[in-house]
Amino acid sequence: MTDILLILGDTQLMSLFTAAAFIVVGLFAAIFLDNIIKKIIGIAFIEEGANLFIVALGYKAGGVVPIFLPGMSADWFAANSAYPLPQALVLTSIVIGASTLAVMLAISMVLYKKYGTLSASEILGDKKTQTLAEKNAGDNNE
Amino acid sequence: MIEVVVMIIAILGCILAILQRDLLKVAILTGINGACVAFLFQFLLAPDVALTQAIVGTAIVPVFLAMAIYKTQRMDDK
**Where do the DSSP E strands lie in B1-78?**
none
Would you tell me which residues 8-67 of chain B have a C-beta closer than 8 angstroms to some C-beta of chain A? 10-11, 14-15, 17-18, 23, 26, 30, 33-34, 37, 40-41, 43-49, 52-53, 56-57, 60-61, 64-65, 67
Contact B60, A98 (CB under 8 A): yes
* Mean pLDDT score of chain B: 90
State the architecture of A2-64+75-141 in CATH terms.
Orthogonal Bundle (1.10)
- CA distances from residue B76 to A114, B26, B43 in whole angstroms, order as listed: 18, 11, 36
Domain that holds residue B67: 2-71
CA A113/CA A116 separation, integer angstroms: 6
Cβ of B45 within 8 Å of Cβ of A45? The answer is no
Q: Bridge-partner residues for B14, per DSSP?
A: none
Is B28 part of a structural domain of the chain?
yes
pLDDT band for A3, please (50, 70, 90 cuts). Answer: confident
Is B78 part of a structural domain of the chain?
no
Across the range A35-50, mean pLDDT stands at: 93
Q: How far apart are the first and last CA of chain A?
A: 76
Note the pTM of the prediction, 2 decimals: 0.86
Is B62 part of a structural domain of the chain?
yes
pLDDT band for A116, please (50, 70, 90 cuts). Answer: confident
CA B14/CA B29 separation, integer angstroms: 7
Cβ of A91 within 8 Å of Cβ of B10? The answer is no
Is B77 part of a structural domain of the chain?
no
Is B47 part of a structural domain of the chain?
yes
pLDDT at A128 over 70: no
- Count of domains forming chain B: 1
Cβ of A90 within 8 Å of Cβ of B49? The answer is yes
Residue A25, phi then psi, degrees to nearest 5: -65, -40
Mutation target among B6, B14, B51, B75 for the A interface, most CBs of A within 10 A = B14
User: What pLDDT sits at residue A138?
Assistant: 61
